[in-house]
Amino acid sequence: MTHSASQCDACKNKKPLPFAFSMAFQPIVQLSTGRVFAYEALVRGMDGSGAGSVFKHVNADNQYQFDQTCRIKAVSLAAKLEIPCFLSINFMPNAVYEPERCIQTTLKAAREHQFPLDRILFEFTEGEEVLDYDHIQRIIRYYRSQGFITAIDDFGAGYSGLTALANIDTNIIKIDMALVRDIDTDPVKQAIVRHSVAMCEELGRQIIAEGIETEKELRCLHDLGIDFFQGYYIAKPEFEALPAINQASGLDIFHRQ
């Protein structure tokens, strides 16, 4: 993994954020092995409140500093908790001006906290319509060239659909919980996911189903060809800690690494 030695002037010159926040962690498990594949770092208020309590303070003026601070907090906590697998970090593409320079904060945090760079996974998340696919693809291409795993979050919801899949070449696709919810009783959702699995297999991309809330949803998705799962049924996010995997599920195959 090779990296530019330059540091981002914007990062060095920005004042600290006027609000505080921390992270909760939620596991992504691989059913076939029963192991935790990754822990996703999720923004939380200092009292453990949901992400909305934090994002209401984020705007165009501070989103860059917020994105950079999220990376530092995620890496530092992951190192403290001795996460043994991938750490999944969300990033906002509009907060990445130059991928070669904006990555420096992440690299510095990983070095300082001795967290392995080859265990960092970046999730691209976008709540608004994507107008500059070239910019996002440049970010993803650079991250992948440096050896990082990348993912599209919330596939199938909002603007994260087939156009994003065609234009953003990530390693992983995370199917949105809207497609997951009650899929065991919904033949339309089953057809969409079945063909999405076939399409991603042809494209060489792995699929993670997020938002799993019931055993029936998990088993249906597994029957449709998905092996990686995330959701409350498996484990709820734990504030500044690694949650225990749900052993009351009846599956009896999940175990911590």
Would you say 105 and 71 are in contact if contact means Cβ atoms under 8 Å apart?
Answer: yes
Mean pLDDT on 175-200: 94
Q: List residues bridging with 239 in a β-sheet.
A: 24
Residues 223 and 173: their CA atoms lie apart, in Å, by 18
- Greater pLDDT, 13 or 133: 133
pLDDT, tens only, 147-177: 899 998 878 665 557 777 887 889 999 998 9
**Percentage of the chain surpassing pLDDT 90?**
59
* Per-residue tokens: 149: 């795993």
Confidence at 127, pLDDT banded by 50, 70, 90: low
Confidence at 235, pLDDT banded by 50, 70, 90: very high
SS3 174: strand
C-alpha triplet 14, 148, 38: angle, nearest 5°: 100
**CA distances (Å), origin 164, targets 34, 121, 211:** 31, 19, 21
Buried residues in 211-249 as b, exposed as e (16+ CB within 10 A): bbebeebbebbeebebbbbbbebbbebbbeebbebbeee
- Closest CA relative to residue 209, chosen from 185, 234, 191: 234
Instruction: Report whether pLDDT(64) > 90.
Output: no
Confidence at 85, pLDDT banded by 50, 70, 90: very high
Confidence at 242, pLDDT banded by 50, 70, 90: very high
Number of C-beta neighbours around residue 188 at 10 A: 9
Residue with tokens 């995620």: 74
- Give the torsion sign (CA, 245, 242, 52, 129): negative
Would you say 16 and 62 are in contact if contact means Cβ atoms under 8 Å apart?
Answer: no
* Per-residue tokens: 192: 């969409």
Residues 93 and 67: their CA atoms lie apart, in Å, by 9
- Closest CA relative to residue 176, chosen from 163, 159, 198: 159
* Per-residue tokens: 152: 């599209």
Residues 228 and 105: their CA atoms lie apart, in Å, by 29
pLDDT on residue 187: 97
Helix 63-80 vs helix 104-113: angle between axes, to the nearest 10 degrees? Answer: 20
pLDDT on residue 188: 96
How is the chain split into domains, by residue range?
A: 20-176+228-239
Which CATH superfamily is 20-176+228-239 part of?
A: EAL domain (3.20.20.450)
Mean pLDDT on 123-141: 74
